Structure 1
Amino acid sequence: MTPPPVSHHEVLPFAACTADDWLPAVKTLPASAFRNFSQLLQGMKLIHTDSGNALSLSPPHERVLARALGLPQGDGLIPWAALQQLQAGGQTGGQAWAYLTPCHWAMGREHATLSD
């Protein structure tokens, strides 16, 4: 696996959501709040809209970035750690790579509880 080429895109994470209260809340904002944003959008062209589930294990902005970088996009399976290893000049060697977040494991005989 070789690192993907670098490309330049603008990604607006969580620019919209599926919550019922989102659109009414946005409509209460003054028009001046969007002036610069509107000017920015005039010079841009829509290439793709991510319509995946906003509650998936891979947030919308991660799915968009993975697609732009040519990475696999399986839910919760985007290989960010392997990509970082490659970009640092290392090899993945067919091994699994992952980021670990410190957390507390409470292990029982028949179950495990994970908390932060």
Structure 2
Amino acid sequence: MLANGLLLIFGLSAVAVIAHGFFKYMRHKALFNLLEKHVERGNELDVEVVQALTSGMSRRPGDHRKAIFLLILGTTSFLYSQMFDPGTLEFILLLEGGGLFAIVTGLGYLISLVVERISRKSDDNL
């Protein structure tokens, strides 16, 4: 039962990540096809046109609130399963697994934010 739940959680997470990447790729592909057709027709590629089309594609700086929320949620879930008696062993393991999953995901967000800031600083120095 617990294994099925964890497989469902990880499976749906993987599907969500893959779908996000696919739709982002399709949007970029459609944008570049539109720009290519615009140039093939003999139109000039103005800076204003490119900025208007790519305005939604600009990368926003990372948001650390999501990482902090996941770390707090995971820590409280894990500590609740250790300090109190929430019931059956299966429920305790579910709380521990969910808490550790949230902690690891939050740490992943924080690491990606740090890497993004470091790469942005190195790009600015060039």
- Pairwise TM-score range, normalised by the shorter structure: under 0.3
Higher helix share: 2
User: If the length of structure 1 is used for normalisation, what is the TM-score?
Assistant: 0.24
